[in-house]
Amino acid sequence: MGDGNNEIGRTEPQESMLKRSNHPTALLFHVGFKAAALFVYIFGSLFSRSFVVSFVIVVLLLAFDFWTVKNVSGRLLVGLRWWNEVREDGTNEWRFESREDTSRISDVDSRVFWVTLWLMPILWGFFTISTFFSFNYGWMLCCIVAVCLSGANLYGYIKCSRAAKAKVGSLASSVASGVLQQQFVSRFTGGSSSSAGANNV
């Protein structure tokens, strides 16, 4: 009886998190690829003694995660999307998209997205340092790839978030200045009309 209650108590937070998510499938894939890459990196030797097989699987999972975060989960979970274009002269141009209607973005989706986005480069950076000091340069290369991919997404979404906030701020300031200007004009024209009426009397 008590065990059943404990199991219910343990499962309720997980169910509530998915229920509170507006995009549970995207949330699962957003976390799943990251967790799978870490799992294969840490425990891959238990299932396969081939370094090449484990290395390829981890890199593939990292690539899947990079593409998912960049093109799917970022757009659905936080309403942001970024990409980088190379111009004809060879320079790079960052482009950002932000959803104007944020009513479909839940706190759970946003919190999980940003926490995992910051956490992964830190974890892979720690693994890079540990492999360097343990002279395991094969896995260090894998960790460097992970840091580059996860760090690129983090950098892109930070710039995208700042651009979205700047866009909202400029829009709010323009609306506020328009309202103030309209009030000033209405008061000025109202005052002119009243003074003109007094002169006519």
Enumerate the domain spans of the chain.
Answer: 2-170
d(CA 99, CA 142): 34
pTM assigned to the model: 0.73
Position 177 pLDDT exceeds 50: no
Please say whether the beta carbons of 71 and 81 come within 8 A: yes
| Reported confidence tier of residue 130, pLDDT bands at 50, 70, 90 | very high
Q: Where are the beta strands (DSSP E) in the chain?
A: 80-86, 92-98
Residue predicted with more confidence, 8 or 24? 24
Position 193 pLDDT exceeds 60: no
Position 3 pLDDT exceeds 60: no
Q: Which of 147, 145, 150, 146 is nearest to 70 (CA)?
A: 150
Element (H, E) at 87: none
| Reported confidence tier of residue 90, pLDDT bands at 50, 70, 90 | confident
d(CA 4, CA 141): 46
pLDDT tens-digit map of 58-86: 999 999 999 999 999 999 999 998 887 77
pLDDT tens-digit map of 115-127: 999 999 999 999 9
Q: Which of 76, 82, 84, 98 is nearest to 29 (CA)?
A: 76
